[in-house]
A and B are shown apart, each in its own frame.
Chain A
Amino acid sequence: MVVVTRRLFQTPWEFRESALFTAVALFFGFAVQYAASGQGVTLPHLPFNAVALALFAAVVLGIGLACRNNQQVKWLGGIPLGLCLIFAIALLSLIGGIVPQTEAAPGSLTVRLGLNRIFSSWPFALAILLFLGNLGLSLSWRLVPFKLKNLQFILFHAGFWIALSCAIFGSPDLQRFVLPIEKGKASNLGYTMESETPQQLPFSVFLHDFSLEEYPPQLLLFDGQSGKIFEELSKATILVRKGITASWSGLDVQVLDFIPYGLPGKEGIPYPADRTAGIPFAKIRIISANKAPREEWITTGSPMIDTRDAQAGSLSLGIRPGTPKAFRSTVTVHDENGHQSKATLEVNHPVDFQGWKFYQMGYDQKAGRWSQVSVIEVIRDPWLPAVYLGFFMIMAGNLLFFWNGIKRTEGAS
């Protein structure tokens, strides 16, 4: 149990001092934020941020090792302060998890206190800095002298220290641009979220081809006037396939035939065509309560071909293009130094080129499969390897922890 007879600031310091310290730090952070009229923290770019981080690490390690017997330094690197800072960071993240992190009315208290930009606010920066200091001190004592039994501790704490510090100090060097490119053309103009004028990039991207695969079209029953869609009895989304059936109250529909890529033919009967020109057609049989069954061809339509729906009483039955399954762009990238590379970009499969990562981002959604434009995102993050090093150290610590955790309880029982 904690000894409760100790007075505030009587050594050794513990939770009360830590809580007080953390509260003052948060208050101070919010005060600075308010005084700066909501202006967030701006960090310098490479190499200055790297130098600042190295200095900070050196100072923390230096203090930790030089003053390891000082009571106050011990407290600064101790668990009580760590817990309070974890609580502070959790509190700030909680604000960030509740208050929408978007533009808010200028001059409002939310903006002045930075609540809508909590993760680049002064209180958050201060809490993270103190946290890194606290964690760094506790780390210094386990690093020197090095003992193998501290390996798990070191992997966890150093991994987290590296990942967090590099993610935060390196954030100014993260560059992301969006490039819309037309088929058969090249572009070197990148847009950012912040500005409408594009920037010249050090490379240009030529779009050879863009292609999109869709899931099968969906069969829908809707009110042609209001556009209201009626749920099928099983509440399922009906993906069109030959042979499937669907029911609404008073109405049964069977898909007799399905042509994924077809073109309209004589007397409304479609014929199969090639992938690039063809569109989905379905032959459906409609059986409603007191009418003779009817059969009809319907189609999703395309920018060139009209949509065709079937009538079912006052309602309409139609098929609509399925959601995108995959889309990809074939591009060639050139840079100023004559490097060149041809690649296929796809969602989840970014491609590396000279320190940049290329992502398939989007396309002209109105045109769907016929889009003549591909939207590509290019991202550069020179700090990524350092952050990943931290991640892998934490995961290695995790594996050890898993193993030791099991062994420890076995020893205890």
Chain B
Amino acid sequence: MTVNFHTAAIVAIACWALGSLLSVLARRTPALKLPALVLSFGGSLVMVGFIAFYWSLLDRPPLRTLGETRLWYAALIPLVGFLVEYRWKITWLKYYCMALAAFFLGINLLHPEVFDKTLMPALQSPWFIPHVIVYLVGYVLLAASSVTALHNVSLQLRHKGDDTGESVSHYLALLGFVFLSFGLIFGALWAKEAWGHYWTWDPKETWAFLSWLAYLGYLHAWRYKIDRTKLQWYLALSFVVLLVCWFGVNYLPSAQNSVHTYSQS
């Protein structure tokens, strides 16, 4: 099993690396455009295939441990990059996205997973998959939004900032917020069925609420007369809150009695 993951991960990383290289070269040699695209997509396809294979092997969706959620990131983040390129003709984002995906796979390669087929009863719910997938998509979009915002900040520092960059980071944040809101509410509806109450201020819930508030604040600031170039800093930093929520919660003093912390690793 571990061997399969090694192969899949290395093939995917190789696809992204080659795809990136070819698409850089494609600026001079347009004929390389297609192979570059095929290879970059191929990397994600390999991961999607691996997830499907792994899912059937485990008899449950691989969405339980942090390592398993990283597989989804690795498959999905590059797709956001391709989408943005297609929609706004912004090419640089996909390089970041593929690098980020390779980085996630790298973590998994360095820390081989603890394979555990069992799923505790509270997680065996029809809400499980929609809740986690909606959150994953939300995080992917917000990660992309932060990367874009960071890029905008660096452009501003070199006095090259433009409105397109800001509208990309804004649009990604807006979509991410929609998914975050769905994730939060799905989580509450599920908690009612599984644990008896929709909201108990468990540390994981509190941090999910905090990350939601961070983006709520952003959307209202954007609507108000706040300088949009300054908001790029805010967007870039908001992702830190998400990161704490995603895996930092396990290390906080308040987490000792959380029911929702992911299995470690």
Whether A94 lies near B210 (C-beta < 8 A) is: yes
B209, A391: Cβ atoms closer than 8 Å: no
Contact of B196 among A98, A176, A237 (CB under 8 A): A176
The segment from B18-26, B73-81, B213-221 that touches chain A is B213-221
Across-interface contacts of A384 in B (CB, < 8 A): 192, 198
User: By the criterion CB–CB under 8 Å, are A87 and B217 in contact?
Assistant: yes
Tell me whether B224 is interfacial, beta carbon within 8 Å: yes
Residues of B within 8 A of A174 (CB): 197
- Chain B residues near A412 (CB-CB < 8 A): 167
- Whether B118 lies near A234 (C-beta < 8 A) is no
- Which chain A residues border B257 with CB–CB below 8 Å? 100, 102
Which B residues touch A357, using CB under 8 A? 196
A322 with B1: CB separation less than 8 A: no
B175 at the A interface (CB under 8 A) = yes
**How far is it, in angstroms, between the C-alpha of A235 and the C-alpha of B201 when the chains are bound?**
34
Asked whether any CB of chain B lies closer than 8 Å to the CB of A82, the reply is yes
| A377 contacts B by Cβ under 8 Å | yes
Contact of B32 with A by CB under 8 A: no
| Contact indicator B197/A1 (Cβ below 8 Å) | no
Q: Which stretch from A28-36, A268-276, A323-331 is at the chain B interface?
A: A323-331
Within A77-102, which residues are at the interface with B (CB < 8 Å)?
79-80, 82-83, 86-87, 89-90, 93-94, 96-102
Number of interface residues of A (CB under 8 A): 58
* Chain B residues closer than 8 Å to A379, beta-carbon distance: 196-197
B203 close to A (CB within 8 Å):
yes
Judge whether B115 and A93 touch: CB under 8 Å: no
Distance to closest chain A CB from B243 (angstroms): 14
Q: Find out whether the CB atom of B225 lies under 8 angstroms from the CB atom of A1.
A: yes
**Contact A405 B174, CB 8 Å, known A79-B220, A97-B210:** yes
CB–CB A176/B217 < 8 A? no
Contacting pair A99 B194 (CB below 8 A): no
Residues of B within 8 A of A82 (CB): 220
**Residues from 44 to 96 in A contacting B, C-beta threshold 8 Å:** 79-80, 82-83, 86-87, 89-90, 93-94, 96
**Residue of A whose beta carbon sits closest to that of B121:** A347
Question: Which one, B124, B174, B182, B214, contacts A347 given CB within 8 A?
Answer: B124
Contact with A along B116-140 (1 / 0, CB 8 A): 1111111011000000000000000
Q: Contact check: which of B112, B122, B197, B254 meets A97 at CB < 8 Å?
A: B254
Do the beta carbons of A86 and B223 come within 8 Å of each other? no
A236 touches B1 (CB 8 A): yes
Most chain B CB within 10 A, of A167, A235, A412, is at: A235
- Cα A349 to Cα B207 in complex, Å, equals 27
* Cβ contact within 8 Å between B210 and A326: no
Whether the Cβ atoms of A398 and B254 lie closer than 8 Å is no
Is B7 at the interface (CB under 8 A from chain A)? Answer: no
Contact with B along A378-413 (1 / 0, CB 8 A): 010100100110010011001001100100010011
Q: Is B185 an interface residue (CB 8 A)?
A: yes
List of B residues within 8 angstroms of A83 by Cβ: 217, 220-221, 224
Segment 316-340 of A: residues with Cβ below 8 Å from B: 322-327
Contact with B along A173-193 (1 / 0, CB 8 A): 010100000000000000000
Least CB separation from A82: chain B residue:
B220
The answer, yes or no, to whether A151 is at the interface (CB within 8 Å) is no
A101 CA to B200 CA, complexed, in Å: 11
Q: Which chain B residue has the least Cβ–Cβ distance from A2?
A: B225
Cβ contact within 8 Å between B207 and A97: yes
CB of A132, distance to nearest CB on chain B (Å): 15
Interface range on chain B: under 10, 10 to 19, 20 to 34, or 35 or more?
35 or more
Q: Are A391 and B253 in contact (CB under 8 A)?
A: no
A348 lies within 8 A of chain B by Cβ: yes
- With A237-B116, A381-B197 already in contact, the answer to whether A348 and B122 are too (CB < 8 A) is yes
Which of B2, B124, B254 touches A326 (beta carbons < 8 Å)? B124
Pick the contact of A398: B88, B171, B181, B227 (CB < 8 A): B181
Whether A237 lies near B117 (C-beta < 8 A) is yes
- CB within 8 Å of B: which A265-320 residues: none
Q: Is the CB of B210 within 8 A of A237?
A: no
| Contacts A102-B257, A215-B117, A235-B114 given; does A402 touch B1 at CB 8 Å | no
Which residues on A sit within 8 Å (CB–CB) of B174? 401, 405
Does A125 reach chain B (CB closer than 8 Å)?
no
Contacts of B201 in A (CB 8 A): 96, 101, 119
Residue among B114, B118, B193, B197 making CB contact with A176, cutoff 8 Å: B197
Which chain B positions have C-beta within 8 A of A96?
201, 206, 254
Tell me if A402 and B254 are in contact (CB < 8 A). Answer: no
Contact with A along B144-175 (1 / 0, CB 8 A): 00000000000000000000000100010011
Do the beta carbons of B1 and A324 come within 8 Å of each other? no
A308 to nearest B CB, angstroms?
23
- B178–A398 CB distance below 8 A: yes
In the complex, how many angstroms separate the beta carbon of A90 from the nearest chain B beta carbon?
Answer: 5
CB of B188 closer than 8 Å to a CB of A: yes
Task: State the Cβ distance, A32 to closest chain B Cβ, in Å.
Answer: 21
| A13 interface residue per 8 A CB criterion | no
On whether the beta carbons of B197 and A215 are closer than 8 Å, the reply is: no
Chain B residues within an 8 Å CB radius of A413: 88, 167
- B residues less than 8 Å from A402 (CB atoms): 175, 178
Q: Flag if A235 contacts B217 (CB, 8 Å).
A: no
Rounded to whole angstroms, the CA-CA distance of A106 and B171 in the bound complex is 49
Distance, CA A59 to CA B97, complexed state (A): 50
When distances are taken between beta carbons in the complex, the residues of chain A under 8 Å from B112 are 234-235
A-binding residues in B (CB < 8 A): 1-2, 88, 112-122, 124-125, 167, 171, 174-175, 178, 181-182, 185, 188-189, 192-194, 196-199, 201, 203, 206-207, 209-210, 213-214, 216-217, 220-221, 223-227, 249, 252-254, 256-257
A-B contact pairs, 10 of them (CB 8 A): A98-B252, A167-B198, A237-B117, A239-B118, A323-B118, A381-B197, A394-B181, A394-B185, A395-B181, A405-B175
Known: A96-B254, A100-B253. 5 other contacts (CB 8 A): A2-B226, A83-B220, A237-B115, A325-B119, A395-B185
Closest 4 pairs between A and B when the two form their complex, measured CB to CB? A347-B121, A236-B115, A97-B206, A79-B224
